[in-house]
Chain A
Amino acid sequence: MTEPYTVEAQSKDLLVLNMGPQHPSTHGVLRLILKIDGEIVREVQPVIGYLHRGMEKLAELGRYPHFIIECNRADYVASYAYEAAYVRAVEELAGLQAPPRAQYIRVICLELDRIQSHLVWLGTFGLDLGVLNAFWYGFRERELILSLQQELTGVRMHPNYFRFGGVKADLPEGWTDKARRACDEIERKLDEYEEFLAQSDTFVMRTRGVGVLTKEMAIDWGVTGPNARASGVDFDLRRDEPYFAYEEFEFTIPVRTEGDCYARFEVRLEEMRQSVQIIRQALARLPHGPILQKGWEKGYQFLMAPTGEHYTRIEGPRGEVGIYLIGDGTTFPYRVKMRSPCFQNLSVLPELMRNTLIADLVAINGSFDLVMGCVDR
């Protein structure tokens, strides 16, 4: 057993500052123990686990479908991502295949969710930098998407909508038109955000060259998603390992090589535009037909996955959401490992924050888009 960590300064010259778990810009319950030299941060020690709910244990205690409800609580800002990853893992293990219409609906949901999650990020990142209004603007457009999701799934945030072999319910009457209108609205607003933030010198001053993550570091530390793509890792699971129906859509993957906070901002903004494109294509070509695999309309409650194991990953808004699923031939999963993108992205933060100013630390933390529920599970 190693020594427990105590909050004591190692050197007399450094001041230990406990940032969080209650702090305005640690995005939930992240706790950072800083050792600062004046305004300069010399060492960062992240302390996590304040939101640990033992999800992997809960998964073993319920039947297969029960965990759909639980896993979307993990990343409470982008609930669909974990749900999709888990559903896909079970489908592949059990040999199920969702019909095309369900696949398309899933893609629409996931992309709406991505936009919604990035909008939350945009607002909170603005708040971290002191642009109070970015917060209101981001949440205003998010509301459009949440009401769409509410109409579709009955709830705003934790949908429990995907099913093994399909989705829960078909699109309501007139939903596609509303979605199209929301897409137009959001695309127009995205230009406004770009004007509002990217053309503001102060914003650029605060983000350019701050928290530079190199490509080698990104790969070595397991950073994925928009954060890695801002560092030049040209990889996106939607394009490189297509799942659901992603291979049928045309979209580009924004990549930047600077690796600073500004690049992460640019990548996310561009990703939202691409998501709008995907949703438009999916709405235009939405196939008709069933939404659940035949024969599974009632019987999924006692789904019995065969003995075996499988690693599935999908591209969540924050990076690679992975599920390592082990089945033992019963109706209970033997082990569900949730590979959290935020957990890995967080691990590199102490490296980036070393020898920066406190203000930069806040900017870096904001630009990484951590959701503590996703980190702690």
Chain B
Amino acid sequence: MNALVAELHKEFASQIEETGELLGKPVVRLRRDALVPFCRAAKAQGFDYLACITGVDRPQERSLEAIYNLYSYEHLQHLIVKTRCPYDDPVLDSVSSIWKSALFLERETFDLVGIRFRNHPDLRRILLPEPWQGHPLRKDYPLEREQFVSKDAQGRDVVGFDSTEGW
């Protein structure tokens, strides 16, 4: 563990649930209310690049996990931040005010996994049409139910379970 991460550890000691390492990359598991303050401090420490947000469905724990891959171009240093939200309240705070790259990544995570990001300026589905049912990367997503995309007369997307629906 290097000095950068150690400092963050000290500052957020009470908010960190778990620390570890993934093949040489330091990992921090946070309580979910600490996400934005921690990320802001991390950005101030030099983690200027948010590479990736991965949403994971964890049915055993009945929760959704979000994994943030941070990187510092200045110090050439990785940091992986993890946090969770329960099924019945799948809400996390948006980090799009800290890194602009989160704007699309959070929309994608919302679309496919179903985590809502509070304070995201434009949280809509991005890859799937707006009225799509369910979030495909959930483990309980029903794959055998086909959905058909069509348009209504106003040009809006329509999604139904019947291939003859729509305009």
Contacts of A7 in B (CB 8 A): 155
How big is chain B's contact interface, by range?
35 or more
Task: From B2-10, B32-40, B51-59, B86-94, give the one contacting chain A.
Answer: B51-59
User: Of all chain A residues, which has the CB nearest B23?
Assistant: A310
User: Contact between B69 and A322 (Cβ–Cβ < 8 Å)?
Assistant: yes
User: Contact between B108 and A343 (Cβ–Cβ < 8 Å)?
Assistant: yes
User: Contact between A240 and B76 (Cβ–Cβ < 8 Å)?
Assistant: yes
Residue A52 lies at the interface, judged by CB distance under 8 Å to chain B: yes
A221-B101, A311-B69, A326-B56 are known contacts. Are A376 and B124 too (CB-CB below 8 A)?
Answer: no
Interface residues of A in 287-320 (CB under 8 A from B): 308-311, 313, 320
Residue B41 lies at the interface, judged by CB distance under 8 Å to chain A: no
Residues 208-237 of A, flagged 1 when their CB comes within 8 A of B and 0 if not, give 000000000101111000000000010100
User: Contact between A311 and B80 (Cβ–Cβ < 8 Å)?
Assistant: yes
A6-B156, A311-B80 are known contacts. Are A337 and B99 too (CB-CB below 8 A)?
Answer: no
User: Contact between B104 and A343 (Cβ–Cβ < 8 Å)?
Assistant: yes
Residue B42 lies at the interface, judged by CB distance under 8 Å to chain A: no
Interface residues of A in 37-69 (CB under 8 A from B): 48-49, 52, 54, 56-57, 60-61
Q: For chain B, what secondary structure do more than half of its interface residues adopt (helix, strand, loop), or is it mixed?
A: loop
User: Contact between A324 and B48 (Cβ–Cβ < 8 Å)?
Assistant: no
User: Contact between A310 and B22 (Cβ–Cβ < 8 Å)?
Assistant: yes
Count A/B pairs, Cβ under 8 Å. 100
Residue B100 lies at the interface, judged by CB distance under 8 Å to chain A: yes
User: Contact between A56 and B137 (Cβ–Cβ < 8 Å)?
Assistant: yes
Residue B112 lies at the interface, judged by CB distance under 8 Å to chain A: yes
Measured in the bound complex, the distance between the Cα atoms of B155 and A6 in whole Å is 8
Q: For chain A, what secondary structure do more than half of its interface residues adopt (helix, strand, loop), or is it mixed?
A: mixed
With an 8 Å Cβ cutoff, the count of chain A residues facing the other chain is: 43
Contacts of A334 in B (CB 8 A): 56
User: Contact between A49 and B130 (Cβ–Cβ < 8 Å)?
Assistant: no
A57-B137, A219-B73, A222-B99 are known contacts. Are A49 and B128 too (CB-CB below 8 A)?
Answer: yes
User: Contact between B52 and A322 (Cβ–Cβ < 8 Å)?
Assistant: yes
User: Contact between B124 and A2 (Cβ–Cβ < 8 Å)?
Assistant: yes
Measured in the bound complex, the distance between the Cα atoms of B98 and A219 in whole Å is 12
User: Contact between A313 and B127 (Cβ–Cβ < 8 Å)?
Assistant: no
A6-B156, A222-B99 are known contacts. Are A376 and B48 too (CB-CB below 8 A)?
Answer: no
A4's contact among B76, B80, B104, B130, by CB below 8 Å, is which? Answer: B130
User: Contact between B104 and A235 (Cβ–Cβ < 8 Å)?
Assistant: no
Measured in the bound complex, the distance between the Cα atoms of B58 and A335 in whole Å is 10
Contacts of B51 in A (CB 8 A): 222, 311, 313, 320, 322, 339
Minimal beta-carbon separation of A30 from chain B (angstroms): 13
Measured in the bound complex, the distance between the Cα atoms of B116 and A247 in whole Å is 42
Residue B129 lies at the interface, judged by CB distance under 8 Å to chain A: yes
User: Contact between B76 and A56 (Cβ–Cβ < 8 Å)?
Assistant: no
Contacts of B154 in A (CB 8 A): 6
A-B pairs with the 10 shortest C-beta distances?
A222-B101, A49-B127, A337-B54, A347-B104, A339-B52, A4-B130, A52-B127, A324-B54, A220-B100, A221-B100
